[in-house]
Amino acid sequence: MARLVLIDDEAGLRNVLGEILASAGHEVVLAADGADGLAAVRRERPDIVVCDINMPGLDGYGVLRAIRADPETASLPFVFLTSEAAVRAGMLSGADDYLMKPVAGDDLLAAIEARLVRGAAARSEAQRRLGEMRRAVAALLPHELRTPLTVIIGTAGLLQEFHREFGPEEIQAMAGGMLKAANRLHRMAENYILYADLELRRLSGLGEPMGGSSGPEEVRAPAKEAARQDERLDDLELDVAEVGVPIASAYLRKIVLEIADNAFKFSNRGRPVKVSLRTVGGSAVLEIADHGTGMSADQVQRVGAFQQFDRGRFEQRGSGVGLALVRSIAEATGGVVEIDSRLAEGTTVRVRWSDGRIRGERNSLDSAC
Amino acid sequence: MTRILVIDDEEPVRTALTMIIGSAGLLQQFHRTFGSDEIELLAAGILEAALSIHRMAEDHGLHAEPVPPFGESRS
């Protein structure tokens, strides 16, 4: 038995369908228009909504938009009752299913049953994957936090107990060490939170909040920040064209920061790290290349495979959640991540977005990519 | 479908980190102007905040928690 909200402005049809559903054992709440229906959805927390499209006032599309816009109801199964002419518009609006009027009782019950079964399966799968992620986060986080925390706890303890014995330069150096470790912790915590949020959005199908428009500054600024953190501004080579990237500013900055940070971390001082942004064909291509330790084909394969937290893989090169985050953001914004790497030669990470909205100059990277 | 993920103890972590970053920054920049007691106090604050993060991590305080599906109670 399921709890349903049935919204239709035709009283006769509403009552008949309500009877059919109730006789099949469902608990039915009837609503005579869109506004009443929406209120019933928010009040009753049903398992599924069946809704007419053409109604005075708030129509079926409006009801669906309001339901999808509210995180509390966004994933609620929604079935339209529609005429043939409205089918295409209904499909585009994001409903889960469509029933053509006139509706036979058996068809209505079958559609609802199918939707409920699919919903239960999706719920079960989402719970399983979230459970996996939760366990992995719980297992990995203490490990990831340990190193910077050890620095802070050890240094602060020394300073608290023996501060009278340290000179000003020593105190300054100790404070600098704690600050660096704390900033690392901060970034780690932010990354975990963002990664969890992205996984949630992917699993729940909630909207697409990450689109937007970014440009060269969202590449230059974090690249410089990463270089500055490693005190290697002289090694940074920027080749950033005036290209628009279809991704929110904060997310492009995060992608560049994480990749550039790895590039500096795994290459020696004096070796260049090149950061470029170009259009290649119809794509915006961000490329960050270092001449560092590189990775074997096997290591690249493993980096490319991660989708979930995986302690073994992350420990492989100490890459933390950063690269997982890059991949999650790229995929959530229609991008693709490619990694070219050779041991002792270096690594090139490329993120490519192609969705027809890319604007900007074209150049010779066509042949390079 | 599970719809939302709660990062349970995000706020305490942020608070503790702010304490550490702020105090360490002060120490780094103004250590010459601080007296011995002030340095000891700042170091004690940093230590306390770092230990609180350590405890949270050990308790798995910062974690992803699935909220139950629509229509189901959290219990």
Any idea where the domains of chain A sit in the sequence?
Answer: 3-103, 130-204, 217-368
Q: What is the pLDDT of residue A96?
A: 78
Checking if the pLDDT of A367 tops 70, the result is no
Q: What is the pLDDT of residue A138?
A: 58
Residues of A in contact with B70 (CB under 8 A): 45, 47, 72-73, 75-76
CA distance A367 to chain B (A): 43
Q: Which residues pair with A51 in a beta bridge?
A: A7, A80
CA distance B53 to chain A (A): 8
Complex-level ipTM: 0.72
Domain A130-204: state its class: mainly alpha
Q: Report DSSP state, residue A275.
A: E
- Judge contact between A163 and B43, C-beta under 8 A: yes
In a mutagenesis test of the A interface, which of B15, B31, B39, B56 is the best target, namely the one with the most A β-carbons within 10 Å? B31
How is residue A66 written in tokens? 């309001």
- Judge contact between A93 and A61, C-beta under 8 A: yes
pLDDT in tens, A257-279: 999 998 998 899 999 999 999 99
CB contact under 8 A, A185 and B4: no
CB contact under 8 A, A186 and B21: yes
Name the phi and psi angles at B7, rounded to 5: -90, 105
In a mutagenesis test of the B interface, which of A204, A206, A308, A321 is the best target, namely the one with the most B β-carbons within 10 Å? A204
- Cα A242 to its chain centre, rounded Å, is 26
CB contact under 8 A, A163 and B36: yes
pLDDT in tens, A336-361: 999 898 888 999 999 999 854 444 44
CATH 3.40.50.2300 describes domain A3-103? yes
Residues of A in contact with B72 (CB under 8 A): none
**Exposed / middle / buried, residue B74 (Cβ in 10 Å: 0-12, 13-18, 19+):** exposed
CB contact under 8 A, A122 and B47: no
Q: What is the pLDDT of residue A206?
A: 53
How far is A211 from A223, CA to CA, in rounded Å?
A: 21
For residue A102, whether the previous peptide bond is cis, meaning omega lies within 30 degrees of 0, is yes
Question: From residue A170, how far is each of A61, A87, A156, A175, A179 by CA, in Å?
Answer: 66, 73, 13, 9, 14
Q: Which residues pair with A280 in a beta bridge?
A: A283
Q: Which of A60-74, A154-168, A277-291, B16-30 has the lowest mean pLDDT?
A: A60-74
Domain A217-368: state its class: alpha beta
Residues of A in contact with B32 (CB under 8 A): 168
pLDDT: which is higher, A6 or A324: A6
In 3D space, the residue among A70, A71, A16, A72 whose CA is nearest the CA of residue A50 turns out to be: A16
Find the DSSP H helices in B3-74: 10-30, 36-58
The verdict on B53 touching A (C-beta cutoff 8 Å) is yes
Find the DSSP H helices in chain A: 11-23, 34-44, 60-69, 87-92, 105-162, 168-204, 217-229, 249-265, 297-305, 311-317, 322-332, 365-368
Place of tokens 């961000």: A286
How far is A149 from A138, CA to CA, in rounded Å?
A: 17
Q: Over pLDDT 90: what percentage of chain A?
A: 30
How far is A60 from A52, CA to CA, in rounded Å?
A: 6
Per-residue pLDDT band at A101 (split at 50, 70, 90): confident
Buried/exposed code over A254-267 (b: 16+ C-beta within 10 A; e: otherwise): bbbbbbbbbbbbbb
Q: What's the whole-model pTM score?
A: 0.56
CB contact under 8 A, A156 and B10: no
Residues 6+ apart with CB under 8 A from A361: A241, A242, A243, A278, A279
- Cα A185 to its chain centre, rounded Å, is 21
Residues of A in contact with B25 (CB under 8 A): 175, 179
Q: What is the largest CA-CA distance in chain A?
A: 89
Buried/exposed code over A274-286 (b: 16+ C-beta within 10 A; e: otherwise): bbbbbbbeebbbb
pLDDT in tens, A326-335: 888 888 888 8
CA distance B44 to chain A (A): 6
Question: From residue A260, how far is each of A128, A224, A268 by CA, in Å?
Answer: 34, 9, 13
